[in-house]
Amino acid sequence: MAVKVRIPTPLRKLTGGADEVSVEGSTVAEVIEDLEKNYPGIRERICEEDGRLRRFVNLYVNDEDIRFKDNMNTALKDGDELSIVPAIAGGRS
């Protein structure tokens, strides 16, 4: 099933500049695997070596944080949208 993935600016060099790509998968983990197959190097920027989501990366399925669902096992259906959102830190001291 096709899932639309929104790519943040820092990762667009891996997708040839595309801000959105379409990949296949029935779970978030499967979508990440398909992303890696089509855009090598993207998984290591999203996931730890053991497959867990990196601490400063957020993934949203249709605007819902996967950490409040089934995390990497969150089920997806055709037409869902997965957004990769890097955490932003900083500010005044």
Could you tell me the residue ranges of all domains in the chain?
2-86
pTM of the complete model beyond 0.75: yes
Q: Is residue 11 classed exposed, middle or buried when 0-12, 13-18 and 19+ CB atoms within 10 A define those classes? A: buried
pLDDT at 90 over 80: no
pLDDT at 56 over 80: yes
CATH class held by domain 2-86: alpha beta
Within 10 angstroms of residue 63's Cβ, the number of other Cβ atoms is 7
Q: What is the mean pLDDT of residues 11-18?
A: 97
- pLDDT, residue 1, reads 79
Closest CA to 70 of 79, 62, 78, 61: 61
